[in-house]
Amino acid sequence: MKLTRDEIRRIAALARLRLSADEEAQLTEQLSRILQYMDKLNQLDTSRVEPLAHAVDIVNAFREDKVTNQPNPEAILANAPAKDQTFFKVPKIIE
């Protein structure tokens, strides 16, 4: 599929891009080659190919959540300018 300069200008306008004449010519050629390659890929028979969610077969890449350091309210609030029991006290913003 060959793109025209007008189509490139329309794509650039939709993407809110300002292109010079040289950039338009370069993008016309590059995007046309990309679309020609996609046409080649569309000709391949993929009826027996299973769809993939991921290229590598990963079952579970997550670790179990474990608390490794118990919170210590006294240590956390040690440098607080103002506190109320085990909470930070902050100035009122909304009245």
Q: Where along the chain do its domains lie?
A: 5-42
Question: How confident is the model at residue 60, as a pLDDT?
Answer: 77
pLDDT at residue 15 above 80? yes
Give tens-digit pLDDT for 60-90: 778 888 888 888 888 889 989 999 888 999 9
Which has more confidence, 58 or 15? Answer: 15
- Alpha helical stretches, state H, the chain: 5-14, 21-42, 73-76
Q: Is the pLDDT of residue 58 over 80?
A: no
Instruction: Please report which confidence band the pLDDT of residue 25 belongs to, taking 50, 70 and 90 as the band edges.
Output: very high
The answer, yes or no, to whether residue 59 has pLDDT greater than 90, is: no
Per-residue confidence (pLDDT) for residue 67, from 0 to 100: 85
Return the residue matching tokens 């300069």: 5
> What gap in Å lies between CA 43 and CA 23, rounded to an integer?
30
Domain 5-42 indexed as CATH 1.10.20: yes
